[in-house]
Amino acid sequence: MPLRKALAALCLTVCCGGAAMAREQSLQVLHWWKSTSERKAVDLIAQRLGEQDIGWRDGMIPSGSGVGAGIVLRSRMLAKDAPEVAQLNGIVIRDWARLNLLLELDTVAAAGHWNKLLLPTVASTIQYDGHVYAAPLGIHRINTLFYNRKLLARVGQPVPTTWQEFERVAARLQQAGIVPLAQSSEPWQVATLFETLVLAEGVDLYRNLFQKRSAAAYADPRLAAALARLRSTKRWMGSPIQERRWEGSVREVAENRAAMMVMGDWAKGELVVRGLAVDEDFGCAASPGTARYHLYNIDTLSMLGTHPELRPAQEKLAALALSPAVQADYNHIKGSIPVLRNPALAKMDACARASWKLFASSAEAQVPSLVHRMATDEIVRDAIVAEVHRFFLDDSVTVADAQRRLGTIASTFTKTK
Protein backbone atom coordinates (compact mmCIF):
# COMPACT_ATOMS: atom_id res chain seq x y z
CA MET A 1 0.00 0.00 0.00
CA PRO A 2 1.45 3.41 -0.96
CA LEU A 3 2.40 5.62 1.99
CA ARG A 4 -0.29 8.22 1.18
CA LYS A 5 -3.07 5.60 1.17
CA ALA A 6 -1.74 4.06 4.37
CA LEU A 7 -1.77 7.43 6.12
CA ALA A 8 -5.28 8.12 4.84
CA ALA A 9 -6.50 4.76 6.12
CA LEU A 10 -4.87 5.37 9.50
CA CYS A 11 -6.45 8.82 9.71
CA LEU A 12 -9.86 7.39 8.87
CA THR A 13 -9.51 4.75 11.57
CA VAL A 14 -8.43 7.27 14.20
CA CYS A 15 -11.10 9.80 13.26
CA CYS A 16 -13.91 7.25 13.21
CA GLY A 17 -12.71 5.79 16.49
CA GLY A 18 -12.56 9.27 18.01
CA ALA A 19 -16.06 10.04 16.78
CA ALA A 20 -17.36 6.82 18.33
CA MET A 21 -15.71 7.69 21.65
CA ALA A 22 -17.23 11.17 21.47
CA ARG A 23 -20.66 9.67 20.96
CA GLU A 24 -20.12 7.34 23.88
CA GLN A 25 -19.20 10.30 26.08
CA SER A 26 -22.19 12.41 25.08
CA LEU A 27 -25.33 12.78 27.20
CA GLN A 28 -28.70 13.89 25.92
CA VAL A 29 -30.42 16.04 28.55
CA LEU A 30 -34.20 16.52 28.47
CA HIS A 31 -35.32 19.77 30.13
CA TRP A 32 -37.71 22.72 29.82
CA TRP A 33 -35.30 25.65 30.28
CA LYS A 34 -36.11 27.89 27.34
CA SER A 35 -35.76 31.59 28.24
CA THR A 36 -32.60 33.60 27.57
CA SER A 37 -31.34 33.38 31.15
CA GLU A 38 -32.25 29.70 31.41
CA ARG A 39 -30.33 28.99 28.22
CA LYS A 40 -27.32 30.80 29.62
CA ALA A 41 -27.48 28.65 32.74
CA VAL A 42 -27.73 25.47 30.64
CA ASP A 43 -24.82 26.57 28.47
CA LEU A 44 -22.71 27.07 31.58
CA ILE A 45 -23.23 23.47 32.70
CA ALA A 46 -22.69 22.19 29.16
CA GLN A 47 -19.40 24.08 28.96
CA ARG A 48 -18.17 22.77 32.32
CA LEU A 49 -19.19 19.25 31.32
CA GLY A 50 -17.32 19.66 28.06
CA GLU A 51 -14.18 20.48 30.02
CA GLN A 52 -14.41 16.88 31.28
CA ASP A 53 -14.65 15.62 27.67
CA ILE A 54 -18.35 14.83 27.94
CA GLY A 55 -20.78 16.29 25.45
CA TRP A 56 -24.16 17.82 26.32
CA ARG A 57 -26.77 17.02 23.65
CA ASP A 58 -29.56 19.45 24.31
CA GLY A 59 -33.09 18.07 24.55
CA MET A 60 -35.02 21.23 25.37
CA ILE A 61 -38.81 20.77 25.24
CA PRO A 62 -40.26 23.42 22.88
CA SER A 63 -43.28 23.96 25.13
CA GLY A 64 -40.95 25.10 27.90
CA SER A 65 -43.04 23.46 30.60
CA GLY A 66 -42.72 20.59 33.02
CA VAL A 67 -46.04 19.15 31.85
CA GLY A 68 -44.78 18.93 28.27
CA ALA A 69 -41.49 17.44 29.43
CA GLY A 70 -43.26 14.70 31.35
CA ILE A 71 -45.33 13.73 28.32
CA VAL A 72 -42.26 13.70 26.06
CA LEU A 73 -40.23 11.63 28.52
CA ARG A 74 -42.97 9.03 28.94
CA SER A 75 -43.48 8.72 25.20
CA ARG A 76 -39.76 8.36 24.59
CA MET A 77 -39.48 5.72 27.27
CA LEU A 78 -42.26 3.73 25.58
CA ALA A 79 -40.50 4.13 22.24
CA LYS A 80 -37.22 2.91 23.78
CA ASP A 81 -35.60 6.23 22.87
CA ALA A 82 -35.04 7.69 26.33
CA PRO A 83 -32.45 10.40 26.98
CA GLU A 84 -29.63 9.74 29.41
CA VAL A 85 -30.55 12.66 31.68
CA ALA A 86 -33.88 14.32 32.48
CA GLN A 87 -35.03 17.26 34.53
CA LEU A 88 -37.34 15.68 37.11
CA ASN A 89 -38.41 17.90 39.98
CA GLY A 90 -39.89 17.08 43.37
CA ILE A 91 -42.31 14.20 43.83
CA VAL A 92 -41.84 13.14 40.20
CA ILE A 93 -38.41 11.79 41.20
CA ARG A 94 -40.09 9.36 43.58
CA ASP A 95 -42.57 8.25 40.94
CA TRP A 96 -39.85 7.41 38.39
CA ALA A 97 -37.63 5.78 41.02
CA ARG A 98 -40.50 3.45 41.97
CA LEU A 99 -40.51 2.19 38.40
CA ASN A 100 -36.78 1.36 38.61
CA LEU A 101 -36.06 3.68 35.70
CA LEU A 102 -33.52 5.95 37.41
CA LEU A 103 -29.91 5.28 38.29
CA GLU A 104 -29.00 5.29 41.96
CA LEU A 105 -26.38 7.96 42.64
CA ASP A 106 -25.38 6.62 46.05
CA THR A 107 -21.71 6.22 45.08
CA VAL A 108 -21.47 9.80 43.80
CA ALA A 109 -23.30 11.12 46.87
CA ALA A 110 -21.03 9.22 49.25
CA ALA A 111 -17.84 10.31 47.47
CA GLY A 112 -18.99 13.93 47.50
CA HIS A 113 -20.28 13.80 51.10
CA TRP A 114 -23.66 15.06 49.95
CA ASN A 115 -25.17 14.28 53.35
CA LYS A 116 -22.97 16.99 54.85
CA LEU A 117 -22.93 19.26 51.81
CA LEU A 118 -26.66 19.62 51.13
CA LEU A 119 -29.36 21.44 53.01
CA PRO A 120 -31.48 18.73 54.72
CA THR A 121 -34.68 19.37 52.76
CA VAL A 122 -32.77 19.15 49.48
CA ALA A 123 -31.15 15.88 50.55
CA SER A 124 -34.56 14.46 51.41
CA THR A 125 -36.09 15.57 48.10
CA ILE A 126 -33.62 13.62 45.97
CA GLN A 127 -33.97 10.37 47.91
CA TYR A 128 -36.43 7.50 47.74
CA ASP A 129 -36.35 4.30 49.76
CA GLY A 130 -32.92 5.15 51.15
CA HIS A 131 -31.24 5.84 47.80
CA VAL A 132 -30.24 9.00 45.94
CA TYR A 133 -31.86 9.45 42.53
CA ALA A 134 -31.13 13.02 41.45
CA ALA A 135 -28.48 15.72 41.43
CA PRO A 136 -29.83 19.06 42.74
CA LEU A 137 -28.90 22.30 41.00
CA GLY A 138 -30.73 25.13 42.76
CA ILE A 139 -33.66 26.28 44.88
CA HIS A 140 -36.23 28.76 43.60
CA ARG A 141 -38.47 30.92 45.77
CA ILE A 142 -41.92 30.99 44.20
CA ASN A 143 -43.61 33.61 46.41
CA THR A 144 -41.59 36.53 45.10
CA LEU A 145 -42.97 39.97 44.28
CA PHE A 146 -40.84 41.73 41.68
CA TYR A 147 -41.35 45.47 41.39
CA ASN A 148 -40.17 48.24 39.12
CA ARG A 149 -38.57 50.76 41.45
CA LYS A 150 -38.97 53.66 39.01
CA LEU A 151 -42.72 53.15 38.60
CA LEU A 152 -43.42 52.83 42.31
CA ALA A 153 -41.38 55.96 42.93
CA ARG A 154 -43.33 57.79 40.21
CA VAL A 155 -46.59 57.33 42.12
CA GLY A 156 -44.94 57.70 45.53
CA GLN A 157 -45.98 54.27 46.75
CA PRO A 158 -44.14 51.75 48.95
CA VAL A 159 -43.65 48.06 48.22
CA PRO A 160 -46.86 46.39 49.47
CA THR A 161 -46.45 43.82 52.24
CA THR A 162 -50.12 42.82 52.54
CA TRP A 163 -52.84 42.36 49.94
CA GLN A 164 -54.73 45.28 51.45
CA GLU A 165 -51.70 47.49 50.83
CA PHE A 166 -51.38 46.01 47.34
CA GLU A 167 -54.92 47.16 46.53
CA ARG A 168 -54.09 50.73 47.52
CA VAL A 169 -50.82 50.78 45.58
CA ALA A 170 -52.47 49.17 42.55
CA ALA A 171 -55.22 51.79 42.50
CA ARG A 172 -52.66 54.62 42.44
CA LEU A 173 -50.70 52.92 39.67
CA GLN A 174 -53.80 52.38 37.58
CA GLN A 175 -54.83 56.01 38.01
CA ALA A 176 -51.42 56.95 36.61
CA GLY A 177 -51.96 54.76 33.55
CA ILE A 178 -49.62 52.00 34.71
CA VAL A 179 -50.59 48.30 34.73
CA PRO A 180 -50.18 47.31 38.41
CA LEU A 181 -49.65 43.56 37.95
CA ALA A 182 -48.12 41.77 34.96
CA GLN A 183 -49.83 38.40 34.65
CA SER A 184 -50.41 35.71 32.03
CA SER A 185 -53.53 33.56 31.83
CA GLU A 186 -51.38 30.47 31.17
CA PRO A 187 -52.65 27.75 33.56
CA TRP A 188 -49.51 27.19 35.63
CA GLN A 189 -48.92 30.94 35.98
CA VAL A 190 -52.45 31.54 37.25
CA ALA A 191 -52.05 28.66 39.69
CA THR A 192 -48.69 30.05 40.86
CA LEU A 193 -50.38 33.32 41.82
CA PHE A 194 -53.17 31.34 43.49
CA GLU A 195 -50.86 29.27 45.69
CA THR A 196 -49.22 32.45 46.98
CA LEU A 197 -52.69 33.79 47.82
CA VAL A 198 -53.48 30.59 49.72
CA LEU A 199 -50.20 30.87 51.64
CA ALA A 200 -51.11 34.45 52.58
CA GLU A 201 -54.28 33.09 54.20
CA GLY A 202 -52.22 30.84 56.50
CA VAL A 203 -49.43 28.30 56.25
CA ASP A 204 -51.58 25.78 58.12
CA LEU A 205 -54.27 26.12 55.46
CA TYR A 206 -51.71 25.66 52.69
CA ARG A 207 -50.21 22.52 54.23
CA ASN A 208 -53.63 21.00 54.96
CA LEU A 209 -54.83 21.67 51.42
CA PHE A 210 -51.89 20.62 49.33
CA GLN A 211 -49.68 18.39 51.45
CA LYS A 212 -52.15 16.62 53.73
CA ARG A 213 -55.18 17.00 51.41
CA SER A 214 -57.52 17.38 54.36
CA ALA A 215 -61.22 17.38 53.44
CA ALA A 216 -61.93 19.92 56.18
CA ALA A 217 -59.38 22.33 54.71
CA TYR A 218 -61.27 22.45 51.42
CA ALA A 219 -64.32 23.69 53.28
CA ASP A 220 -62.30 26.39 55.08
CA PRO A 221 -63.57 29.97 54.48
CA ARG A 222 -59.97 31.04 53.95
CA LEU A 223 -59.84 29.00 50.73
CA ALA A 224 -62.90 30.89 49.56
CA ALA A 225 -61.11 34.15 50.43
CA ALA A 226 -58.07 33.14 48.35
CA LEU A 227 -60.28 32.26 45.39
CA ALA A 228 -62.17 35.54 45.69
CA ARG A 229 -58.91 37.49 45.79
CA LEU A 230 -57.60 35.64 42.73
CA ARG A 231 -60.63 36.81 40.81
CA SER A 232 -60.50 40.36 42.19
CA THR A 233 -56.85 40.83 41.20
CA LYS A 234 -57.85 40.46 37.55
CA ARG A 235 -58.81 44.14 37.49
CA TRP A 236 -55.17 45.07 38.12
CA MET A 237 -53.74 42.97 35.26
CA GLY A 238 -54.54 45.08 32.22
CA SER A 239 -56.96 44.07 29.50
CA PRO A 240 -57.14 41.67 27.86
CA ILE A 241 -55.24 39.21 30.05
CA GLN A 242 -53.27 37.27 27.47
CA GLU A 243 -51.93 33.73 27.62
CA ARG A 244 -48.20 34.13 27.15
CA ARG A 245 -44.95 32.78 28.45
CA TRP A 246 -43.67 34.24 31.71
CA GLU A 247 -40.92 36.13 29.91
CA GLY A 248 -43.65 38.36 28.48
CA SER A 249 -44.54 39.56 31.96
CA VAL A 250 -40.87 40.12 32.73
CA ARG A 251 -40.61 42.24 29.61
CA GLU A 252 -43.54 44.43 30.73
CA VAL A 253 -41.85 45.12 34.06
CA ALA A 254 -38.46 45.68 32.43
CA GLU A 255 -39.86 48.12 29.87
CA ASN A 256 -41.78 50.20 32.45
CA ARG A 257 -45.19 49.00 31.21
CA ALA A 258 -46.14 47.13 34.40
CA ALA A 259 -45.12 47.82 37.97
CA MET A 260 -45.16 44.39 39.65
CA MET A 261 -45.35 40.66 39.07
CA VAL A 262 -45.64 37.61 41.33
CA MET A 263 -43.36 34.88 40.03
CA GLY A 264 -40.62 32.47 40.98
CA ASP A 265 -37.20 34.03 41.17
CA TRP A 266 -36.23 32.70 37.76
CA ALA A 267 -37.77 36.04 36.75
CA LYS A 268 -34.81 37.73 38.43
CA GLY A 269 -32.42 35.91 36.11
CA GLU A 270 -34.41 37.14 33.11
CA LEU A 271 -34.53 40.73 34.38
CA VAL A 272 -30.77 40.72 34.90
CA VAL A 273 -30.03 39.25 31.47
CA ARG A 274 -32.12 42.10 30.01
CA GLY A 275 -29.64 44.54 31.59
CA LEU A 276 -31.53 45.52 34.76
CA ALA A 277 -29.79 45.63 38.14
CA VAL A 278 -31.08 44.32 41.47
CA ASP A 279 -31.90 47.14 43.93
CA GLU A 280 -31.35 49.77 41.23
CA ASP A 281 -33.87 49.09 38.50
CA PHE A 282 -35.98 46.49 40.26
CA GLY A 283 -36.41 44.93 43.66
CA CYS A 284 -37.73 41.67 45.01
CA ALA A 285 -39.79 41.09 48.13
CA ALA A 286 -42.08 38.40 49.47
CA SER A 287 -45.47 38.12 47.83
CA PRO A 288 -47.89 40.05 50.10
CA GLY A 289 -48.64 38.28 53.37
CA THR A 290 -45.98 35.59 52.95
CA ALA A 291 -42.76 37.16 54.25
CA ARG A 292 -42.15 34.44 56.84
CA TYR A 293 -42.27 31.61 54.33
CA HIS A 294 -40.22 30.27 51.45
CA LEU A 295 -42.51 28.65 48.90
CA TYR A 296 -39.94 26.59 47.07
CA ASN A 297 -39.09 24.47 44.09
CA ILE A 298 -35.83 22.55 43.60
CA ASP A 299 -34.31 22.03 40.14
CA THR A 300 -32.82 18.57 39.78
CA LEU A 301 -31.34 16.27 37.13
CA SER A 302 -31.95 12.52 37.21
CA MET A 303 -29.98 9.89 35.30
CA LEU A 304 -31.92 7.27 33.38
CA GLY A 305 -30.57 3.72 33.31
CA THR A 306 -31.01 3.19 29.58
CA HIS A 307 -27.34 3.06 28.51
CA PRO A 308 -25.15 1.32 31.13
CA GLU A 309 -21.97 2.20 29.24
CA LEU A 310 -22.67 5.88 29.87
CA ARG A 311 -22.97 5.57 33.64
CA PRO A 312 -19.48 7.04 34.29
CA ALA A 313 -20.39 10.12 32.27
CA GLN A 314 -23.74 10.43 34.07
CA GLU A 315 -22.01 10.22 37.43
CA LYS A 316 -19.56 12.92 36.39
CA LEU A 317 -22.45 15.22 35.54
CA ALA A 318 -24.07 14.50 38.91
CA ALA A 319 -20.84 15.32 40.73
CA LEU A 320 -20.33 18.46 38.63
CA ALA A 321 -23.75 19.81 39.63
CA LEU A 322 -22.66 19.96 43.28
CA SER A 323 -19.27 21.57 42.70
CA PRO A 324 -19.04 24.96 44.48
CA ALA A 325 -18.15 26.79 41.26
CA VAL A 326 -21.13 25.45 39.32
CA GLN A 327 -23.45 26.07 42.27
CA ALA A 328 -22.34 29.71 42.50
CA ASP A 329 -22.27 30.47 38.78
CA TYR A 330 -25.36 28.52 37.68
CA ASN A 331 -27.62 29.96 40.38
CA HIS A 332 -26.34 33.49 39.78
CA ILE A 333 -27.50 33.23 36.17
CA LYS A 334 -30.71 31.28 36.86
CA GLY A 335 -31.93 33.54 39.69
CA SER A 336 -32.07 30.68 42.18
CA ILE A 337 -29.96 29.91 45.25
CA PRO A 338 -27.42 27.13 45.90
CA VAL A 339 -28.51 23.87 47.51
CA LEU A 340 -25.48 23.93 49.81
CA ARG A 341 -25.30 24.37 53.57
CA ASN A 342 -22.36 26.74 53.21
CA PRO A 343 -22.55 28.63 49.91
CA ALA A 344 -20.55 31.70 48.96
CA LEU A 345 -22.99 34.27 50.38
CA ALA A 346 -20.71 37.15 49.48
CA LYS A 347 -21.18 36.35 45.78
CA MET A 348 -24.97 36.56 46.00
CA ASP A 349 -27.10 39.62 45.41
CA ALA A 350 -29.46 40.91 48.10
CA CYS A 351 -32.44 38.92 46.79
CA ALA A 352 -30.52 35.66 46.77
CA ARG A 353 -29.02 36.18 50.22
CA ALA A 354 -32.44 36.86 51.72
CA SER A 355 -33.88 33.81 49.99
CA TRP A 356 -31.09 31.48 51.13
CA LYS A 357 -31.13 32.72 54.72
CA LEU A 358 -34.88 32.23 55.01
CA PHE A 359 -34.80 28.76 53.46
CA ALA A 360 -31.92 27.69 55.69
CA SER A 361 -33.48 29.17 58.83
CA SER A 362 -35.88 26.32 59.66
CA ALA A 363 -38.09 23.60 58.23
CA GLU A 364 -41.10 25.62 59.39
CA ALA A 365 -40.19 28.39 56.95
CA GLN A 366 -40.02 25.98 54.00
CA VAL A 367 -43.24 25.39 52.07
CA PRO A 368 -43.20 23.05 49.04
CA SER A 369 -44.85 24.43 45.92
CA LEU A 370 -47.96 22.67 44.68
CA VAL A 371 -47.71 24.03 41.14
CA HIS A 372 -44.02 23.24 40.79
CA ARG A 373 -44.32 19.59 41.80
CA MET A 374 -43.01 19.67 45.35
CA ALA A 375 -46.18 19.18 47.42
CA THR A 376 -48.41 16.49 45.98
CA ASP A 377 -48.98 13.86 43.32
CA GLU A 378 -48.77 14.86 39.67
CA ILE A 379 -52.36 13.82 38.86
CA VAL A 380 -53.79 15.88 41.72
CA ARG A 381 -51.53 18.80 40.90
CA ASP A 382 -52.64 18.87 37.27
CA ALA A 383 -56.33 18.64 38.22
CA ILE A 384 -56.07 21.48 40.75
CA VAL A 385 -54.21 23.69 38.26
CA ALA A 386 -56.88 23.04 35.64
CA GLU A 387 -59.73 23.85 38.06
CA VAL A 388 -58.09 27.07 39.28
CA HIS A 389 -57.50 28.09 35.68
CA ARG A 390 -61.14 27.41 34.80
CA PHE A 391 -62.29 29.56 37.72
CA PHE A 392 -59.93 32.37 36.72
CA LEU A 393 -61.14 32.50 33.13
CA ASP A 394 -64.87 32.00 33.67
CA ASP A 395 -66.51 34.57 35.92
CA SER A 396 -69.72 32.55 35.90
CA VAL A 397 -68.06 29.88 38.06
CA THR A 398 -68.82 30.82 41.66
CA VAL A 399 -66.32 30.71 44.50
CA ALA A 400 -68.44 28.08 46.26
CA ASP A 401 -68.53 25.89 43.16
CA ALA A 402 -64.77 26.13 42.65
CA GLN A 403 -64.15 25.37 46.32
CA ARG A 404 -66.41 22.34 46.15
CA ARG A 405 -64.77 21.04 42.97
CA LEU A 406 -61.28 21.45 44.44
CA GLY A 407 -62.35 19.44 47.46
CA THR A 408 -63.68 16.69 45.20
CA ILE A 409 -60.36 16.54 43.34
CA ALA A 410 -58.39 16.20 46.58
CA SER A 411 -60.64 13.46 47.97
CA THR A 412 -60.95 11.48 44.73
CA PHE A 413 -57.34 10.41 44.53
CA THR A 414 -55.69 8.35 47.27
CA LYS A 415 -52.74 10.13 48.83
CA THR A 416 -49.47 8.23 48.45
CA LYS A 417 -46.19 8.73 50.24
Q: Is residue 187 part of a domain?
A: yes
CATH code of residue 386: 3.40.190.10
Q: Is residue 57 part of a domain?
A: yes
Q: Is residue 311 part of a domain?
A: yes
Could you tell me which residues come within 8 angstroms of residue 297 by beta carbon, excluding any fewer than 6 positions away?
89, 90, 139, 140, 142, 264, 369, 372, 373, 374
Q: Is residue 20 part of a domain?
A: no
Last residue of a domain, one of 326, 346, 364: 364
Q: Are residues 107 and 164 in the same domain?
A: no
Q: Are residues 287 and 304 in the same domain?
A: no
Q: Are residues 57 and 157 in the same domain?
A: no
Last residue of a domain, one of 364, 386, 401: 364
Question: In this predicted structure, what is the pLDDT of residue 67?
Answer: 61
Q: Are residues 243 and 391 in the same domain?
A: yes
Q: Are residues 237 and 381 in the same domain?
A: yes
Question: In this predicted structure, what is the pLDDT of residue 403?
Answer: 97
Could you tell me which residues come within 8 angstroms of residue 195 by beta carbon, excluding any fewer than 6 positions away?
142, 206, 210, 295, 369, 370, 371
Q: Is residue 205 part of a domain?
A: yes
Q: Is residue 17 part of a domain?
A: no
pTM of the complete model: 0.91
Q: Is residue 5 part of a domain?
A: no
Give me the count of residues in the chain: 417
Question: In this predicted structure, what is the pLDDT of residue 71?
Answer: 77
Q: Are residues 190 and 286 in the same domain?
A: yes
β strands within 61-192, DSSP E: 85-87, 127-128, 131-132, 135-141, 144-148, 179-181
Last residue of a domain, one of 364, 382, 398: 364
Q: Is residue 15 part of a domain?
A: no
Predicted confidence (pLDDT) per residue in 58-101, tens digit = 988 876 555 656 777 878 877 777 899 999 989 999 989 998 99
Q: Are residues 115 and 185 in the same domain?
A: no
Per-residue H/E/C for 18-63: HHHHHHHCEEEEEECCCCHHHHHHHHHHHHHHHCCCCEEEEEECCC
Q: Are residues 371 and 304 in the same domain?
A: no
Q: Are residues 196 and 272 in the same domain?
A: yes
Question: In this predicted structure, what is the pLDDT of residue 69?
Answer: 65
For residue 58, list its beta bridge partners: 29
* Structural domain of 378: 144-295+367-412
Question: In this predicted structure, what is the pLDDT of residue 68?
Answer: 58
Question: By the 8 A CB rule, do 326 and 104 touch?
Answer: no
Question: For residues 291, 385, 213 and 412, what is the CA-based torsion angle, rounded to 10 degrees?
Answer: 170
Q: Are residues 63 and 94 in the same domain?
A: yes
Q: In the chain, how many domains are there?
A: 2
Q: Are residues 135 and 167 in the same domain?
A: no
Q: Are residues 152 and 197 in the same domain?
A: yes
Question: In this predicted structure, what is the pLDDT of residue 414?
Answer: 57
Residue segments in the chain with a per-residue pLDDT below the cut of 50 = 1-24
